[in-house]
Structure 1
Amino acid sequence: MKHTYPITGMTCQGCRSHVEKALNTVTGAKAIVSLEKAEATIEMDHHIPLEVFEQALHAGGGNYHIGQKPEPMLAKLKPMAIPGALYYCPMHCEGDKTYDKPGACPVCGMDLVAQAGSAEEENSSYNKLLFKLKIAISFTLPIFIISMTDMIPGNPLFQWATMNTWNWVELILSIPVVFYATWMFFERAWQSLLTRHFNMFTLIGIGAGAAWLFSVFAILFPSIFPQEFYSHHGTVYVYFEAATVILTLVLLGQVLEARAHGKTNAAIRELLKLVPNEATLLIHGQEKLVPIEQIQKNDLIRVKPGDKIPVDGHILEGHAAIDESMITGEPIPVDKQSGDLVRAGSINGNTSFVLQTDKVGAETLLSQIIDLVHQASSSKAPIQKLADTISSYFVPAVVLSSVLTFIAWAILAPENAYIFAFVNAIAVLIIACPCALGLATPMSVMVGVGKGAQNGILIKNAEALEKLAKVHVVIIDKTGTVTEGKPSVEKMLVASEEILEKEVWQKIFSLNQLSEHPLAKASVVFAKKLGVEAKAVEQFEALLGKGVKGSIDGKTYVIGNQKLLEERMINIPVELFRQVISEQKQGKTISYFADEKEAQVALVISDKIKESSHQAIRDLQAEGLEVIMLTGDNQETADVVGKQLGLNDWKAQMLPQSKLDEIVRLQSEGKKVAMAGDGINDAPALSQADIGIAMGTGTDVAIESAEITLVKGDLRDIAKARKLSQMVIRNIKENLFFALGYNVLGIPIAAGILYPFFGTLLSPMLAALAMSFSSVSVISNSLRLRGKGL
């Protein structure tokens, strides 16, 4: 069973990782925590009470809570409704849905907020961090100025007070920074020490904390320090500016991270805004504007020009040109007729039509897209394990390096040894802070998932992104995957050149438009493209399993299979029959048109290969991939399609189990297999494959069984998805380089390796700046993915 619970108290990826580890300590539970949604998705063997997870969070330390938000000691006042205001969930769990009164979001549990103007106001975590950053800067800047003026000859500040007094001023100004704006960093550092899960806050807490405590003792108990710790002013050196600047810079990194999350989710947020709040419901022919949540299956909805379509359904009356670019990425509106499917979030053109609902709420394609993207945002790629492993070893190594730096300077420095030892040891701790390491993977994954969604490629989990780059074989289904998945008229075979095809098409159109059979509909579609007009039909009759018959202008005609003609003793001309046999050998379906005596033409009907399939196969093979088709169709049809597409191999008459067994065989040979399909019969194979790729035009079962969904059902998007996968993995590796490169180069410099040669030391403040720059580099590099083409 799987449950989703809201989590409070998280502000960054470090928090998310800590909460996830704590929840996973519960026996029988597997948790994935999302910072963006502020929730945990937990799979459990049996139901586990919420209190057990709450206890696990408390044991791990920190002010984190699962489930409902904890009530403060003073009871919360019930929020008052603002007259005329609309309220929405700041996480946009239900798209643009609004409420007329305040309360809690029914999806994520967050407080609903009144509509406001800016996107920043929607993110309470970002707002809190930004406010704390403003506080930190306000108090850190004066401390920094006081410290820097000491470098000016004849320090002007000494005209107002002594150095000792200014040290006290620095202490007072540092208190709001340490104990309010950045206190959370020390809490996280303490938690990491208790749980032995070392992270970037371990180094921040030790480094900045040591600098601040040293300075406090220097003011309160100066007599305990040796003479080399004193400045020429007669006071002990203090490092309030180093501690506060370091903490403020780290806080700046946290704000940038929170801001970056908002930017990387921009594409997802646009998807969430596609569904309107209200719909025009038709009740006994009367229009009534109702909230979208009141719409049910089989309801009739009037969609007016320019309206967003609120649910998935089919056109019952009328026609329209629908802009589906927000879902499929195609900019050209799609013409829709009566019976055609339309999807929630797409936009109606200049006509009005009546829609009958098929799917509402979470069942709509748009809701499935949102759910898939959210799952991907909270998942972790296997490469993230590398970053986690590096962090677990890196932090203790840095602490040891800091200790060795202190010892080396204390022993080898000619003068002021302890001061040099202390300052350089602190610099090592600060510059080695691996905060960027925690951003390296999730930032790339989030941007990659968002870019995929914009291009109609829905990625269910981050692991799929990594595995797709390693695929050797792509298995494809035939019907609905490489073909249109519906019958279409390929051409007309004539018995004699004297036959006027346009007149024949007029009669075929007149008869078949009265039939519901898919083959009849295929000929109707073809006839409409020719622009023929229907004639009156009398005595129409549908002949089950054979075809149709009817009278036009007083003469009887039939359309159907060979069995129908044999029963009615209708002759098939030899030349026509010869052509038919040739087409049937290629797996084509034949439908005859005849009068009461003789067949006049034969329609060749097939499941047409998509125009995009040829290019898609070539693109995949050009990348060194083996492309194999597994189909349940007959061997003749499979041979024709396989040869036309130039596939590496193909197999026909494959049952669902047969497809699954073939994938198992390929995997036993050490090959990584991707499977693309669209039907219920493909679901087992999609689940067995290393990567399951579903056509968005296919069944819900196939989509649920796959890890990647191609919204447009275009095989060319497999190559795009693979390119996206390679781009994301490369971007992650670049991020890891940025995250570790500064540290590897910076630690020796911070330790003072350049001092014997150039007399250069790296101050703790500059170390903090370099550390923050590594985080900025990771964020900037991840965001570069948004500008790359697929």
Structure 2
Amino acid sequence: MTHKYDIAGMHCDGCRTKVENTLNSIEGVKAEVTLQPPVATITMKDHVATEKLQKALDGAGKYTITMANAGGNEHHSHATPHTPNIHRNSSEGKYYCPMHCEGDKHYDKPGQCPVCGMDLVKEATIQASSQSFTCPMHPEIVQDAPGSCPICGMDLVPTQPGDEEQKTYNDLLSKMKVAVLFTAPIFAIAMIEMMHNNPLLAIMDASKWNWVQLLLSLPVVFYACWTFFVRAWKSIVTMNLNMFTLIGIGTGVAFLFSLVGLFLPSLFPSEFKTEHGTVMLYFEATTVILTLVLLGQLLEARAHTQTSGAIKELLKLAPTQATIIEDGEEKVISIHDIQTGNMLRVKPGEKIPVDGKITEGETHIDEAMITGEPIPIDKKAGDAVIAGTINGNKTFVMVAEKVGADTLLSQIVQMVNNASRSKAPIQKLADGIAKYFVPTVIAISVITFIIWAKFGPQPALVYGFINAIAVLIIACPCALGLATPMSVMVGVGKGAQEGILIKNAEALEKMDKVDVLIVDKTGTLTEGKPSVEQVYSSHNNENGLLQAIASLNRYSTHPLASAVVNYAKSKNVSLLEATDFESVTGMGVTGTLDGKKVALGNIKLMRQLDVRIEDELESKIIAEQKLGKTVSYIAVDTVAVGFVSITDAIKQTSADAIRELQQLKVEVIMLTGDNDNTARAVAQKLNLSSYKANCLPEDKMLEIKNLQSQGKMVAMAGDGINDAPALAQADVGIAMGTGTDVAIESAKITLVKGDLKGIAKAKELSHGTMKNIKQNLFFAFFYNVLGVPVAAGVLYPFFGILLSPMIAALAMSFSSVSVIVNSLRLRTLKL
């Protein structure tokens, strides 16, 4: 017996492996576990209670197992207080660190990354939502979708907070207001104290103004910016030192110093005291620094919402409702209630609800949001339609074929999410430096204090203290950490909008280095819609040969076989039963019809079967091949008796695309299983620099290996199925997808439209993204390499320049924001 179970608590492939191994350790249980979706498929000899499975998982970690789609007495929930079930509450979801400190690891709830301390980001998904909308004046009105109140006409408002990122921004904004409200008077007091005739002393003495500063600083330190100290403490306890470690130490030391100076001034030497006898306090430095850091977080939150803008635009494509046809009646249902096989009516101007095929009517559909193609596509009965695309001015009926997570739109969103979280090889440089960055900065800060205290001018200790804090505050490991992920996120999103689906950041980086592109002929350079032009018989028996080859080909799945069968049907030719059918990879097909051995295929198959070919027939075949047509020999009982000529038009965009790629210094080579004459004709039409004909799948793979041994970076464009070995061997495999048949998992880059121009766009996108990443890394390195020494005071002996910790805080706050803003420039990249 086999059952499916939902697994909660898995965050990465390591979790999946642990759960699978634990379940397989139970006697009589064989389990296969997947991460997306989080499901265990368990085969058991005898029934094993869910409680026993849960008990085993309790020893492995915080995992929960429940019967999938359980109902009645079969549903056993084992959720514990420490294991939140992330799949039951729509207000929860998957959260990840924008710096990907732990790779693909996800968390069930919002919070801070335990490694770098940054706020976790919610992953965008297309899923059912329990969000409802109500009228602010008539709360009894509740609807599942936005609209207007039927009573007063006011716009309905969500009953629950919506955008997670906006919520984070609003929370930071409210804290920022508090911080500014209390920091401003502290800063004013400190600045006025520097005046020669301090007017504040006429109100009360300096010691009492110090107490005022303390009271005003409390809301800033313990409310508005307290999270910085929490993150700093967590980073020290876990030894995951990060930006907040430096901020926490720097401002924490300044605040504690000020507290001790206020309560126990006698502990400090005179050089720490003012002319009024009070210790120099740093409440204004503490609060101003914290407020500026908070400002940086606020600006970063605002900018970060824009980096995932492409994903949000994709999410907006998902409709919320559809019109279903049941028993001849139409009714509106939620998009999440659609099931495979449902008949749906799509009205003019509506979005296509799910992937499927038109069964009745015709229209034109705008697919620009999926394929990047701006011209609407004409569609008729039998044509595929894609969820999220927009219907024209006609109505039609469609059958639902892929729903929910199986739709192309959902797969694109998931793929963009996954690619956005992946790490590019170039990030290893930043990761390696970041590992030692914070300890190094702390060491430099300590050395700065010692050197200033020993060799600096009076008051030396004060100079040392201020400069040591400035060193801690100005350093920004965050800018280094964000340099690559932000560019990757924006770049991948930009690609998705253009119909270029990038599987991971490594593919994005490698595509920039590609200097050789291997292309297949059929379906890549050509339309991939072969049609029979003629069947030739040496004995004037064309119908007989057509019946024979069509009868054989109906057992084959090759596109050329389908063309032959369709041609026979159009001629009303009846098909016979064949025996001993065999498909010979890369050559053709053989079988027995009416006791005769029939073969249909290329010259390799003919030679393998030792078929005799007359010179006259060979001449006719060569003439057809030189016209760029694909020709298959027809043999009966080892004698060639004719041929079938098949044409497959070259795509109108292929020539332009190849020209663009050559201008980008990419050599385009065609490897095809077709004959040399046909291959040469196509290569000449497209001005290809090189080609190879009569290639079997393994020949293409060996050719790629040969090019790689010469130091070439090779990309391979194919259909993702027949070319699987070559796609896997290539440095960058590119699947030429079309509509809902896109093979997302077959290659590192998928072109939704299946157009070679998409490869040129992918190359330009890769180059633009890598250039952007290098700019970010340069800025981050340059900023820290320049900022830390300046904060330490290296310019003071020469120019008398010192950097105030408050100026350092301002510079640090804007460094991360600058990296994000620069990444956002990729959205304007012209492809």
Q: Which bin holds the TM-score, normalised by the shorter protein?
A: 0.7 to 0.9
1:212 to 248, 255, 259: 255
Q: Secondary structure at the match of 1:542?
A: coil
Distance 1:519 1:208 in 2: 78
Task: Identify which range, 742-751 or 305-314, moves more after superposition.
Answer: 742-751
Q: Which residue of 1 aligns with 2:572?
A: 541
Q: Which residue of 1 aligns with 2:604?
A: none
Distance 1:242 1:232 in 2: 20
2:439 to 386, 392, 396: 396
1:176 and 1:655, CA in 2 relative to 1: closer, same or farther beyond 3 A?
Answer: farther
Q: Which residue of 2 aligns with 1:737?
A: 778
> Which deviations, in whole Å up to 9, do the C-alpha atoms of 1:704-747 show, x marking residues without a partner?
12111111111111121111111111111111122122222222
Distance 1:69 1:763 in 2: 46
What letter matches 2:686 in structure 1? L
Q: TM-score, normalised by structure 1?
A: 0.75
Is 1:299 aligned to 2:342, yes or no? yes
Structure 1 gaps, min length 5: 8-18, 31-38, 56-64, 72-88, 106-112, 494-515, 525-536, 547-562, 564-574, 592-601
1:70 and 1:727, CA in 2 relative to 1: closer, same or farther beyond 3 A?
Answer: closer
| Aligned 8 A contact 1:120 1:126 in 2 | no
Q: Which residue of 1 aligns with 2:50?
A: none
> Which deviations, in whole Å up to 9, do the C-alpha atoms of 1:153-177 show, x marking residues without a partner?
4333333332222222222222232
Q: Which residue of 2 aligns with 1:139?
A: 182
| Aligned 8 A contact 1:96 1:275 in 2 | no
Q: Which residue of 2 aligns with 1:381?
A: 424
Distance 2:740 2:676 in 1: 25
Distance 2:178 2:746 in 1: 50
Is 1:240 aligned to 2:272, yes or no? no
Q: TM-score, normalised by structure 2?
A: 0.71
1:623 and 1:739, CA in 2 relative to 1: closer, same or farther beyond 3 A?
Answer: same
Q: Which residue of 2 aligns with 1:36?
A: none
Is 1:416 aligned to 2:448, yes or no? no
Q: Secondary structure at the match of 2:410?
A: helix
List aligned pairs for 1:527-676, cutoff 5 A: 541-544=572-575, 582-586=623-627, 588=629, 605-676=646-717
> Which deviations, in whole Å up to 9, do the C-alpha atoms of 1:10-52 show, x marking residues without a partner?
xxxxxxxxx99xx98999799xxxxxxxx999999x9995886
| Aligned 8 A contact 1:488 1:608 in 2 | no
Distance 1:625 1:690 in 2: 14
List aligned pairs for 1:329-478, cutoff 5 A: 329-478=372-521
Is 1:158 aligned to 2:190, yes or no? no
CA drift at 1:199: 2.0
Is 1:784 aligned to 2:815, yes or no? no
Distance 1:376 1:482 in 2: 28
> Which deviations, in whole Å up to 9, do the C-alpha atoms of 1:118-145 show, x marking residues without a partner?
9766643333333333332222222222
CA drift at 1:325: 1.3
Distance 1:24 1:197 in 2: 21
What letter matches 1:731 in structure 2? N
Q: Which residue of 2 aligns with 1:271?
A: 314
| Aligned 8 A contact 2:346 2:395 in 1 | yes
Q: Which residue of 2 aligns with 1:202?
A: 245
What letter matches 1:736 in structure 2? L
1:200 and 1:491, CA in 2 relative to 1: closer, same or farther beyond 3 A?
Answer: farther
| Aligned 8 A contact 2:357 2:381 in 1 | yes
Distance 2:671 2:796 in 1: 68
| Aligned 8 A contact 1:678 1:697 in 2 | no
CA drift at 1:452: 0.9
What letter matches 2:707 in structure 1? L
List aligned pairs for 1:248-327, cutoff 5 A: 248-327=291-370
Structure 2 gaps, min length 5: 21-34, 43-52, 64-81, 89-120, 135-143, 145-155, 537-560, 578-599, 601-615, 633-642
CA drift at 1:761: 1.7
Q: Which residue of 2 aligns with 1:496?
A: none
CA drift at 1:327: 1.0
1:721 and 1:199, CA in 2 relative to 1: closer, same or farther beyond 3 A?
Answer: same
Q: Which residue of 2 aligns with 1:690?
A: 731
| Aligned 8 A contact 1:586 1:637 in 2 | yes
CA drift at 1:296: 2.0
What letter matches 2:753 in structure 1? K
1:520 and 1:701, CA in 2 relative to 1: closer, same or farther beyond 3 A?
Answer: closer
Distance 2:16 2:269 in 1: 51
CA drift at 1:295: 1.8
| Aligned 8 A contact 1:677 1:702 in 2 | no
Task: Identify which range, 159-168 or 463-472, moves more after superposition.
Answer: 159-168
> Which deviations, in whole Å up to 9, do the C-alpha atoms of 1:560-610 show, x marking residues without a partner?
xxx9xxxxxxxxxxx99998873245452699xxxxxxxxxx997511111
Q: Which residue of 2 aligns with 1:716?
A: 757
| Aligned 8 A contact 1:2 1:41 in 2 | no
Q: Secondary structure at the match of 1:712?
A: coil
Distance 2:494 2:531 in 1: 34
| Aligned 8 A contact 1:302 1:352 in 2 | yes
Distance 2:497 2:488 in 1: 14
> Which deviations, in whole Å up to 9, do the C-alpha atoms of 1:604-623 show, x marking residues without a partner?
75111111111222222233
| Aligned 8 A contact 1:458 1:711 in 2 | yes
| Aligned 8 A contact 1:694 1:703 in 2 | yes
Q: Secondary structure at the match of 2:529?
A: strand
> Which deviations, in whole Å up to 9, do the C-alpha atoms of 1:201-222 show, x marking residues without a partner?
2211221111111111111111
What letter matches 1:293 in structure 2? H
CA drift at 1:317: 1.0
Q: Which residue of 1 aligns with 2:153?
A: none
> Which deviations, in whole Å up to 9, do the C-alpha atoms of 1:432-477 show, x marking residues without a partner?
2322112211111111111111211111211211111122322212
Q: Secondary structure at the match of 2:390?
A: coil
CA drift at 1:349: 1.0
> Which deviations, in whole Å up to 9, do the C-alpha atoms of 1:621-669 show, x marking residues without a partner?
2333232223333443333223322334333344444433433343344
1:519 and 1:24, CA in 2 relative to 1: closer, same or farther beyond 3 A?
Answer: closer
> Which deviations, in whole Å up to 9, do the C-alpha atoms of 1:464-492 show, x marking residues without a partner?
11111122322212211111110258899
Distance 1:187 1:749 in 2: 29
